[in-house]
Amino acid sequence: MQIGLIGTGTMGTPIGGCLIDAGHRLAVFDIRPEATHALVGCGADRVDSPRMVAERSEVVFTSLPGPDQMEPVVLDAAAGVLAGLRPGGCYIDLTTNAPGVARRVGEACRAKGVAMLDAPVSGRPPGMTVMVGGDQAIFARHRSLFDAIARNVFYVGEAGAGCIAKLVTQYLGYTNFVAALEGLLIGAKAGVDPGILAQIVPFSAGASRTFDNIPRAVLTGAFTAGGTLDIVAKDLHLACDLARTVAAPANLGLLAHDILHRAQAQGWGQEGFPIAARILEAMAGHELRSQQGQGAAGYQSDDPRRAPQR
């Protein structure tokens, strides 16, 4: 099948590689041409606009930072995906997106005879998870494409449902991350080595894959893991917006987002999201560092089921 891929960054490049490995022909575009080099080296064709990608493709994927980037890439009248994708084609958005934006773009697609699926992802291909919203028959028709890039594929429901599922998982993960840092600071200030605590938590009620970033990224002082602070803050902001829209409580999310926003105000937006720990450390007057934590990090990273997530 002739596939288009727009956005060949940290996620898009390995996703494109999986599609090539599955035997598909790939046309790619990124606003940074150098970001396409790896896929071009694997046989993909680089083109000069989203429209040109769509003109050459039966199915177009986007893997972009957020709704502010995704919507114009699709809807731009001159150079967007819908300007080039033929009726009967399919557009699949892998972006962590706002449900309302996904639905609005989906309506524009339907008006032009194009199918759309919102399908945000978590983890890293080919072992990642994908959550799909849209028409179930369209999902079934394109299931093999999802199986090529992900181990866990879930059909969630109608348009926007994939985005909702992803925002829920982000809400759970990053509120847990902030709570875990606070817990470790409590223990550290009370006199227990946080590295020892980090070895205990994975075998306790506090276990989570998001917590696993702390030994490798915070206790070492590296602050590198998963997505950037800007991306994680965007995701949590979208999740809190969704909560307000449906009148659901999001008290923990608002508190966690405040910590992330304070870290962004320090100019750390392009750093790994664990750098937000420095805000809590400053509030506590105590740094979370431990040589013991490095052993815990090594143990967890050896288990592929506990790989860093975003």
Distance CA 13, CA 38 (A): 7
For β-strands 121-122 and 128-133, DSSP reports them as antiparallel
Q: Is 234 a catalytic site residue?
A: no
Beta carbons of 38 and 49 less than 8 angstroms apart: no
Q: Which residues of 213-244 are buried (b: 16+ CB within 10 A; e: fewer)?
A: bbbbbbbbeebebbbbbbbbbbbbbbbbebbe
Beta carbons of 160 and 102 less than 8 angstroms apart: yes
Q: Which residue has the tokens 């790896």?
A: 38
Beta carbons of 93 and 116 less than 8 angstroms apart: yes
Distance of CA 141 to the CA centre of its chain: 24
Q: Which two tokens stand for residue 211?
A: 């917590």
Q: Which residue has the tokens 């991350």?
A: 177
Beta carbons of 123 and 309 less than 8 angstroms apart: yes
Beta carbons of 26 and 7 less than 8 angstroms apart: no
Neighbours of 83 (CB within 10 A): 18
Neighbours of 167 (CB within 10 A): 26
Q: Which residue has the tokens 């179930």?
A: 136
Q: Which residues are catalytic?
A: 166
